[in-house]
Amino acid sequence: MTLVGHFINGVNVDTAERTQDVFNPATGEATKQVALAAKETVEEAIAAAQAAFPAWRNTPPAKRARVMFRFKQLLEENAEKICQLIGEEHGKIAHDAMGELTRGIENVEFACYAPQMLKGEHSKNVGPNIDSWSEMQPLGVVAGITPFNFPAMVPLWMYPLAIVCGNTFVLKPSERDPSSTLYLAQLMQEAGLPDGVLNVVNGDKVAVDTLLTDERVKAVSFVGSTPIAEYVYATASANGKRCQALGGAKNHAIIMPDADMDNAVAAMTGAAFGSSGERCMALSVAVCVGDEAADALIEKMSAAMQDLKVGACTDNSNDFGPVITEAHMNKVKGYIDSAEQQGAVVVVDGRNPQVEGYNNGFFVGGTLIDQVKPGMTCYDEEIFGPVLLVVRAQSMDEAMQLINDHEYGNGTCIFTRDGEAARYFSDNILVGMVGINVPLPVPVSYHSFGGWKRSLFGDLSAYGPDGVRFYTNRKTITQRWPSSGVREGVQFSFPSN
């Protein structure tokens, strides 16, 4: 069985202190094993990054950017292979994997603008013969811990920007689908990145804790569930590191009575069930204002869901694939069971989909549940599966209060034709990423991605302008050259201009 190892100091490392099976979730079969790094292996990767930092820091930003231009080209040339690796281990259909990769490439494109991003600021004569300027300096060795659901895109949120800012990087991807992430690192090396600037260690909590506590690591970026995000943030901060930790979500869409229901249903179908709902920006709750809107949504959504195709990644006509593991499949089904037990109505039941030829796959079909209320387990917790909940509200204010009261504040949207309502919603909703008739309001690469409340720990969001701030330290320099022959007296008052 193939072993997926590590990538340290420019070399593939097949050290296997411990291993874990990697499954094809469509067949339920273990197809590979992944090495789980010991503490010493992670420390070796950190040491490689630390050794590479001085030379890389002093590499001109334009030269760093040229590596990114070449990397972007290699990603595009090898897109089909990357998407195949994602499909085999995550289960994502090829068209969805290509969408993920394309969004990741956009972040590489943003990183190509390093010379512009790192210019700093300059002011002449802030005082008599005194000039002042700022510089954006790299931190040193930084680390990323990334989730299974976007094995290409989320790492591409992190290390291209960190590296182009002059840092060196240690990446700990998900051990559930490691191959595509490792392959991307090899392409980065092929693009001309010096040895040790990017290192990848596969592993579990041992690897995570080593990165969080090693004093050579200056910053940690994390994407995953809220309980782990909170742990990562607390541990990294306690060890003196800068940290951004993106957690879970419960993304609501408000359906106003005046919404274009056909377009809203089409948008929500993709946003709720795409990628099997395993997206932190997936729409999982539709809050309908008024029973008439709710009944219309249920009718049209039920009809639309009859055409959903769930299956293996090998058939590009499928809409979405399996969930990541058997345990997660059972967890998602358990949420549907609990909704039924707590008084909700399962309108479309995806607990037992029939996928011909894949009887052992980890499949959950699209599920629609009506009459959901706060306090139900399915509402309060993140399901992370192809399940759409319908909550009925009697007013827009009541619908917004539901969203504002929830512990998560990642993404939300409203479907309406009323500009006044849309403006009021965007101004007053307590959520970090907002869509107006846009179901997945994921910011483009030159903005920044991040939620509010328990969806983000830390004060800087991912990628974009916040990413540059996260991966650099601002240094402000004030310089004075007195005129020759001029003797100045002592000044005891606080200096001013």
What domains does the chain contain, in order, with CATH numbers?
2-247+455-477 (3.40.605.10), 251-436 (3.40.309.10)
**Cα dihedral sign for 367, 370, 371, 374?**
positive
Q: In angstroms, how far is CA 239 from the centroid of its own chain?
A: 24
User: Residue 492: its pLDDT value, please?
Assistant: 82
User: What are the tens digits of pLDDT across the range 383-404?
Assistant: 999 999 999 999 999 999 999 9
- State how far the Cα of 349 lies from the Cα of 360, in Å rounded to an integer: 19
For residue range 86-110, what is the model confidence (pLDDT) as tens digits?
Answer: 999 999 999 999 999 999 999 999 9
What b-and-e string marks burial along 313-328, b requiring 16 or more CB atoms within 10 Å of the CB? Answer: beeeebbbbbbbbeeb
Q: What is the pLDDT of residue 114?
A: 84
Q: What is the arrangement of strands in the sheet containing 387-393, beginning at the earlier edge strand?
A: 345-348, 367-370, 387-393, 283-289, 251-255, 411-415, 433-436
The single residue listed with the structure tokens 């002011």 is: 123
| From 243, 280, 313, 378, active-site residue | 280
Average per-residue pLDDT for the chain: 96
| Overall average pLDDT of the 349-356 stretch | 94
Report the pLDDT value the prediction gives residue 314, as an integer from 0 to 100: 92
Indicate if 83 belongs to the active site.
Answer: no
pLDDT of residue 398: 98
Q: What is the pLDDT of residues 432-454, one digit of tens each?
A: 999 999 999 999 999 999 999 99
Q: What is the b/e burial string over 349-379, where b = at least 16 CB atoms within 10 angstroms of the residue's CB? A: ebbebebeebeebbbbbbbbbbbbeeebebb
Q: What is the pLDDT of residues 467-492, one digit of tens each?
A: 999 999 999 999 988 877 777 778 78
pLDDT digits (tens, 9 = 90+) for 278-337: 999 999 999 999 999 999 999 999 999 999 999 999 999 999 999 999 999 999 999 999
What is residue 497's predicted lDDT score, i.e. its pLDDT? Answer: 65
Q: Quick one: average pLDDT of 364-385?
A: 97
pLDDT tens digits for range 105-142: 999 999 999 888 899 899 999 988 899 999 999 999 99
Percent of the chain whose predicted confidence (pLDDT) is above 70: 100
**Which residues make beta-bridge pairs with 172?**
145
pLDDT-derived band at 351 (thresholds 50, 70, 90) equals very high
pLDDT digit string, tens, across residues 192-223:
999 999 999 999 999 999 999 999 999 999 99
3-state SS of the chain is CEEECEEECCEEECCCCEEEEEEECCCCEEEEEEEECCHHHHHHHHHHHHHHHHHHHCCCHHHHHHHHHHHHHHHHHCHHHHHHHHHHHHCCCHHHHHHHHHHHHHHHHHHCCHHHHCCCEEEEEEECCEEEEEEEEECCEEEEECCCCCCCHHHHHHHHHHHHCCCEEEEECCCCCCHHHHHHHHHHHHCCCCCCCEEECCCCHHHHHHHHHCCCEEEEEEECCHHHHHHHHHHHHHCCCEEEEECCCCEEEEECCCCCHHHHHHHHHHHHHHHHHCCCCCEEEEEEECHHHHHHHHHHHHHHHCCCCECCCCCCCCCECCCCCHHHHHHHHHHHHHHHHCCCEEEECCCCCCCCCCCCCCCCCCEEEECCCCCCHHHHCCCCCCEEEEEEECCHHHHHHHHHHCCEECEEEEECCCHHHHHHHHHHCCCCEEEECCCCCCCCCCCCECCEECCEECCCCECHHHHHHHCEEEEEEEEECCCCCCCCCCCCCCCCC
State the pLDDT at residue 15: 80
